[in-house]
């Protein structure tokens, strides 16, 4: 197809299809979709760069570079590798997204010092709308060639009486050693970068920014990439950058009008030979465009919640967080608390009434909500997640022992003739938190919120981020308290119904207490699964099922004229006994998954479900390098923050990540995982770097190795929701 016809078709497509889109502010003008710039890197080298907006791309074969200066010829452009795309108009083509830098060598004759450069390019939007070819001209001033120093002549010069300056005369001027650039990325962010000459480096700790002459505009919190560690004689342990450094600066605007601001950058660097430059500063005027209202999908879920905290009224905020708590009550975070509260109510025996059961539940829930609030505020203000602190093995073991004591008391073991002193201690330990007192229920509620169900979700993270940023502990704490009350609604319903559902006296009550004794043992084993090997836990589950099955008369014949309830208990006992024996067989086979006790045995192997996705565990010190390596290989990255004590992490692993549709959608991604189970200093530093409270959290990084913050996943997501989240990262 002739070139003019292709261009004509593209032009028609652009005119006809973009009319509606432009009216809806969906399609950017070409100078905003493809921000092009050019600069001289040296006397014989230039670089043409594009900042390509999200959802747009450029064609490699539509780029043309031409020198309009007779004394300067352009060499072959050094095109980076791009993505291959099948285009309806041009067939299989190479395209570029995000950021693009193309170096071009120059051949300069007769000492020419400036270049007039013509640049032509063409691109499209993902919506299927193509722009006509764009053309622009740059006037570039070329730096003077660096004179090569003859050390012999320099030495002779020094010996003749002049000052000997072997190490300083050929140093580059500061602006050539550290070329600084700043540009407008979009209406709410700037992009800054340095081109650092060979043999020079920049200090990370010396980089600072501020805005001047910028009414109503201020810089947000920005994250400077990690540099290479260096032991410096002057500054001690520092981080340095060679070759190039670039990152974004968020801009917070109080108004929407276009305006010009001045960015002041301060930095300092040295030459490898040991000569350091004094601190440098540079001012650049930047024209901010009209601020558009950010679309909802441009903010992560927790950031949207932070914004709502800033602008919503207190009643609306509290009502919203109560609703968030209701939704969280349907997740695994709250489930382990149900048997704990049930045990407290049942332990009260035949004295329980509906009103008393509800008050016990209310005390438990309010204490749990207050604990979330207090420790949440402390975590936000001081940067320490105390829920993770309570996941220490000795604390888990101690709390599990409490549940074992509670369980044994429900089985009636403490009526045995043990030594009086020991009997009193055991009785007091088992009764202290189930004696029917409101204080006992409150203590159990407080401990349970920290130890049993540590869970981070977007509403909780949003509230903590807001408290950390503003220091407004009153509003943030009120929101957390409302969240805790919402999460406790199922427990309040349990308390309101317990007095009616539980009998007042008789053998049935003893049987019910025994059932809850088994459930409490199950909670103890579930907690121990965080700190004990899988095969040991599997053996404990087998014991838990087999011994109660004996008490349920699973192996005893039923007497004649047995009641329906007696038959029901025996049936339940037989099921527990059978599954317990399967667990013992699985344990002997070396398995550790109680849900798949016979995995690896004959037919079970063929019918076993596919394993979940396999993550590459990466330490915090190697994380950034691994992300950059993936970007160099043109692979996006999914980073998962995981901990053994995180309930939602386990649920994501067992259900969401094991789904074949999720595994198919993640093909092509580099799957990295950071394990923060130990809550070490490195773990805390990494969570702080990404502004995270704790797991579960899933972050996505594009081909420019920058995080797509708006696409963060905080908390549990089912298969359908997670696939939609993945699709948004690719749009």
How confident is the model over 404-414, as pLDDT tens digits?
776 776 666 65
CA atoms lying within 13 Å on the CB side of residue 140: 28
CATH code, domain carrying 123: 2.60.40.1250
For residue 483, the model assigns a pLDDT of 80
Q: Is residue 34 part of a domain?
A: yes
**Does residue 82 sit within a domain?**
yes
Q: How far is CA 529 from the centre of its chain?
A: 25
- pLDDT (average), residues 353-363: 76
Q: Look up the CATH number of the domain holding residue 644.
A: 3.40.30.10
Give pLDDT tens digits for 151-199.
444 444 444 343 334 444 578 899 889 999 998 888 888 999 999 998 8
Instruction: Say whether both 451 and 377 belong to one domain.
Output: yes
Which among 167, 151, 181, 182 is positioned nearest to 270, based on CA atoms?
A: 167
438 in the same domain as 393? yes
pLDDT at 699: 93
Same domain (yes/no): 49, 106: yes
Name the DSSP class of 709. G
Tell me: pLDDT of 471 over 60: yes
Q: What is the pLDDT of residue 121?
A: 93
Single out the residue in 158, 184, 207 at which a domain terminates: 158
Q: Are 724 and 678 part of one and the same domain?
A: yes
State both tokens at 675: 């394990």
pLDDT tier, 238 (very low <50, low <70, confident <90, very high otherwise) = confident
Q: What is the pLDDT of residues 589-625, one digit of tens each?
A: 877 777 778 776 654 444 444 566 889 988 877 788 8
pLDDT in tens, 90-136: 677 889 998 898 999 888 887 788 888 999 999 888 887 888 889 99
Segment 9-13 long-range contacts (CB within 8 Å, at least 24 positions apart): 9/89, 10/89, 10/122, 10/130, 10/131, 10/132, 11/132, 13/128, 13/129, 13/130
Query: Has residue 527 been placed in a domain?
Result: no
pLDDT at residue 429 above 60? no
Do 21 and 146 lie in a common domain? Answer: yes
Q: Which string of DSSP letters, residue by residue, matches 548-590? A: HHHHTTTTSPPPTT--HHHHHHHHHHHHHHHHHHHHHHHHHTT
Tell me: do 148 and 288 sit in the same domain: no
Give the pLDDT band of residue 640 (cuts 50, 70, 90).
Answer: very high
- Residues 293-305, mean pLDDT to the nearest whole number: 55
Is the pLDDT reported for residue 554 higher than 50?
Answer: yes
Give yes or no: residues 244 and 339 share one domain: no
Based on the domain organization, do 211 and 264 belong to the same domain?
yes
Alpha helix positions (H), 488-551:
489-501, 507-528, 534-551
209: helix, coil or strand? strand
**Does residue 206 belong to any structural domain of this protein?**
yes
**pLDDT score of 637:** 93
Closest by Cα among 44, 37, 278 to 177:
278
The per-residue pLDDT for 49 is: 92
User: What pLDDT was estimated at residue 501?
Assistant: 52
Going by pLDDT thresholds of 50, 70 and 90, the confidence category of residue 669 is very high
Is 369 found in the same domain as 288? no
Instruction: State which of 476, 504, 532 marks the end of a domain.
Output: 504
Within a domain: residue 553?
no
Summary mean pLDDT of the chain: 75
Indicate if 312 and 452 belong to the same structural domain: yes
Taking the CB of residue 272, how many other CB atoms lie within 10 A of it? Answer: 10
Q: Region 509-521: what's the mean pLDDT?
A: 67
Domain boundary residue among 158, 192, 220?
158
- The span from the CA of 226 to the CA of 174, in Å, is 23
Domain count, the chain: 4
Triad 182, 184, 185: Cα angle to 5°: 110
Residue 564 placed within a domain: no
Do 378 and 413 lie in one domain? The reply is yes
Element (H, E) at 59: strand 56-59
Asked, for residue 547, whether it belongs to a domain, the answer is no
Main-chain dihedrals φ then ψ at residue 293, nearest 5 degrees: -70, 120
The reply to whether 386 and 408 lie within a common domain is yes
- Provide the domain limits for residue 59: 1-158
Q: DSSP strand E in 88-176: where?
A: 91-96, 99-108, 114-121, 123-125, 134-141
For residue 571, what are its two tokens?
């049936």
Could you give the percent of the chain with pLDDT greater than 90?
A: 12
Report pLDDT for 672: 93
Q: What is the mean pLDDT of the segment spanning 559-574?
A: 79
Is there a domain that residue 694 lies in?
Answer: yes
Q: Between 271 and 20, where is the model more confident?
A: 271
**Cα(56)–Cα(100) distance, integer angstroms:** 12
- Tokens 């063409």 label which residue? 122
Q: 149-153, 545-549, 643-647: which has the minimum mean pLDDT?
A: 149-153
């Amino acid at each position: 197809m002739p070139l003019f016809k292709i261009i004509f078709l593209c032009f028609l497509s652009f005119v006809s299809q973009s009319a509606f889109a432009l009216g809806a502010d969906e399609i950017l003008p070409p100078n905003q979709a493809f921000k092009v710039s050019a600069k001289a890197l040296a006397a014989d080298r230039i670089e043409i760069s594009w900042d390509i907006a999200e959802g747009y791309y450029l064609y490699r074969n539509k780029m043309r570079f031409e020198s309009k200066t007779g004394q300067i010829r352009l060499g072959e452009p050094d095109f980076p590798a791009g993505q291959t795309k099948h285009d309806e108009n041009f067939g299989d083509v190479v395209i570029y997204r995000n950021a693009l830098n193309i170096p071009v060598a120059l051949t300069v004759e007769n000492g020419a010092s400036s270049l007039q450069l013509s640049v032509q390019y063409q691109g499209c939007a993902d919506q299927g709308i193509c722009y006509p070819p764009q053309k622009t001209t740059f006037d570039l001033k070329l730096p003077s060639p660096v004179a090569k120093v003859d050390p012999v002549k320099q030495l002779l010069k020094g010996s003749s009486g002049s000052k000997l300056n072997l190490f300083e005369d050929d140093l580059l001027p500061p602006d050539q050693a550290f070329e600084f650039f700043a540009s407008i990325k979009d209406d709410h962010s700037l992009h800054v970068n340095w081109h650092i000459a060979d043999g020079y480096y920049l200090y990370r700790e010396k980089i600072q920014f501020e805005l001047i002459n910028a009414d109503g505009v201020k810089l947000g919190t920005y994250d400077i990439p990690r540099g290479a560690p260096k032991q410096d004689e002057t500054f001690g342990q520092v981080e340095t950058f060679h070759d190039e450094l670039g990152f974004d600066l968020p801009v917070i605007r109080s108004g929407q009008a276009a305006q010009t601001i001045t960015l002041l950058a301060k930095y300092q660097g040295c030459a490898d030979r040991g000569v350091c430059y004094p601190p440098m500063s540079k001012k650049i005027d930047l024209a901010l465009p009209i601020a558009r209202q950010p679309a909802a999908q441009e903010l992560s879920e927790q950031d949207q919640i932070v914004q709502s905290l800033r602008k919503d009224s207190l009643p609306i905020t509290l009502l919203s967080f109560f609703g968030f708590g209701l939704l969280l009550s349907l997740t695994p975070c709250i489930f382990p608390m149900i048997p704990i509260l049930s045990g407290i109510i049942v332990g009260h025996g035949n004295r329980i009434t509906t009103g008393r059961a509800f008050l016990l539940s209310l005390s438990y829930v309010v204490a749990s909500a207050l604990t979330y609030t207090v420790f949440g505020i402390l975590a936000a203000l001081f940067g320490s997640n105390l829920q993770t602190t309570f996941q220490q093995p000795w604390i888990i073991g101690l709390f599990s022992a409490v549940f074992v004591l509670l369980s044994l008391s429900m089985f009636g073991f403490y009526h045995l003739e043990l030594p009086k002193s020991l009997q009193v201690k055991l009785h007091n330990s088992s009764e202290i938190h189930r004696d029917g007192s409101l204080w006992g229920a409150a203590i159990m509620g407080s401990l349970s919120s920290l130890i049993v169900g540590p869970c981070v979700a977007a509403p909780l993270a949003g509230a903590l981020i807001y408290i950390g940023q503003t220091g407004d502990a009153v509003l943030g704490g009120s929101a957390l308290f409302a969240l805790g009350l919402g999460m406790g609604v199922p427990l309040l319903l349990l308390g309101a119904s317990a007095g009616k559902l539980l009998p007042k006296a008789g053998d049935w009550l003893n049987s019910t207490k025994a059932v809850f004794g088994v459930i409490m043992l199950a909670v103890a084993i579930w907690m121990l699964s965080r700190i004990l090997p899988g095969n040991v836990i599997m053996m404990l589950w087998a014991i838990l099922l087999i011994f109660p099955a004996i008490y349920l008369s699973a192996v005893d014949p039923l007497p004649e004229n047995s009641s329906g309830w007696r038959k029901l208990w025996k049936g339940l006992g037989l099921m527990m006994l059978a599954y317990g024996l399967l667990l013992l067989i699985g344990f002997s086979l070396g398995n550790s998954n109680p849900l798949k006790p016979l995995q690896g045995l004959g037919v079970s192997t063929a019918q076993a479900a596919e394993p979940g996705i396999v993550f590459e565990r990466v330490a915090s010190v190697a994380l950034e390098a691994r992300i950059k390596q993936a970007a160099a290989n043109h692979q996006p990255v999914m980073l998962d923050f995981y901990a053994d004590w995180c309930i939602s992490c386990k649920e994501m692993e067992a259900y969401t990540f094991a789904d074949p549709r999720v595994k198919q959608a993640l093909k092509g991604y580099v799957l990295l995982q950071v394990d923060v189970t130990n809550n070490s200093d490195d773990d805390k530093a990494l969570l702080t770097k990404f502004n995270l409270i704790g797991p579960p959290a899933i972050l996505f990084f594009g081909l420019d190795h920058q995080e797509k913050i708006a696409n963060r996943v905080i908390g549990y997501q089912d298969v359908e929701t997670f696939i939609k989240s993945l699709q948004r990262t690719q749009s």
